Amino acid sequence: WAKQDGRGKHRFFTETMDAEAVKRLKMENDLRRSLANNEILVYFQPKVSCPDGHILGMEALVRWQKNGKLISPADFVPLAEDVGLIVPIGRYVLTKSCQLTEKWRKSTGQNLKVAVNVSARQFKDDDLIQAVEDALSETGLPISALELEVTESALMQNPEATKKVLEELRKMGATIALDDFGTGYSSLSYLRFFPIDVLKIDKSFVDGAPADQDANMLLRAILAMAQGLKLRVVAEGVESADQVRFLHSLGANSIQGYYFSRPLPDQEMGSLLAKKVVFTVD
């Protein structure tokens, strides 16, 4: 009996594995095809300057248009990272972001910056420095207008090598932002180890504020630490006027969130910029 059970289980296990593997393989192929067919889109979410309320730039956020449906990065970036497709996708997002931002800088006459997310895999498998140089020379965007967002967990995958690449990019004039700050497991000492210009406070710290005193205390502590280390601070996932006022009062440098705007397709981002809106931050 035991043997039979074991065999039965084993067969079942293999079949589920196969089904999962087949599903992933199909998704990988679909994604590869979509990249070739311009079905990878770049959306943009404005970053609002504190305290003046102007749009000082935007974050580029990738989307997958699969059979007319928009798939969010949470549902395909991890797979793209596993199979290495994040490297060509990342190059595409980088180039597109630089191209559109340069266009908007010219049309508005404003010194707009663009922030592009970078995965660990791009540090490992790609010549990120070459990718940046290519994107800038193809589009004419000055490197001072380019910010790269890296997560704490991406930094920790290969700290020494990643540090070298970031130092080089920063020497070239790029800005380095630490994304999802506070959600990783590493010690704070890495803030001094890596060349970081900007801390992006994760949405999870913003969520409770300003109603929850503990949330407020953590935000205060993060802002005080960032100011002490001379890092700029972006708060992300800001959804209410109260949160905006509170973050403003703590001295956050810029604010990003649904309260001001969801991520927009490039046409809509272009129209928003053309209006030169000034948001209220107090």
Secondary structure of residue 265 in the 3-state scheme: strand
**Does the protein bind ligand C2E through residue 93 (CB under 6 A)?**
yes
According to DSSP, residue 84 is labeled: T
Residues 130-189 touching ligand C2E, rule: CB under 6 A, are 149, 179-180
Binding partner at 188 among Mg ion, ligand C2E, none, C-beta below 5 to 8 Å by kind: none
Its sign, for the CA torsion 119, 121, 124, 127, is negative
**Binding segment toward ligand C2E, per CB under 6 A, in 21-29, 98-106, 138-146, 233-241:** 233-241
CB of 95 to ligand C2E, least distance (A): 11
**Binding segment toward ligand C2E, per CB under 6 A, in 114-122, 183-191, 247-255, 266-274:** 114-122
**Binding segment toward ligand C2E, per CB under 6 A, in 47-55, 138-146, 256-264, 273-281:** 256-264
According to DSSP, residue 72 is labeled: P
According to DSSP, residue 51 is labeled: T
- The span from the CA of 146 to the CA of 164, in Å, is 18
Give the interface size with ligand C2E as a residue count (CB under 6 A). Answer: 25
CB 235 within 8 A of CB 198: no
- The span from the CA of 155 to the CA of 177, in Å, is 11
**Does the protein bind Mg ion through residue 266 (CB under 5 A)?**
no
**Does the protein bind ligand C2E through residue 95 (CB under 6 A)?**
no
C-alpha distances in Å from residue 43, one per residue of 63, 128, 262: 7, 21, 9
Contact pick of 263, 272, 273, 281 for ligand C2E (by CB under 6 A): 263
- The span from the CA of 270 to the CA of 105, in Å, is 10
- The span from the CA of 206 to the CA of 199, in Å, is 14
CB of 122 to Mg ion, least distance (A): 14
Residues contributing to the site for ligand C2E (CB under 6 A): 45, 61-62, 72-74, 77, 86, 90, 93, 117-119, 149, 179-180, 203, 236-239, 256-258, 263
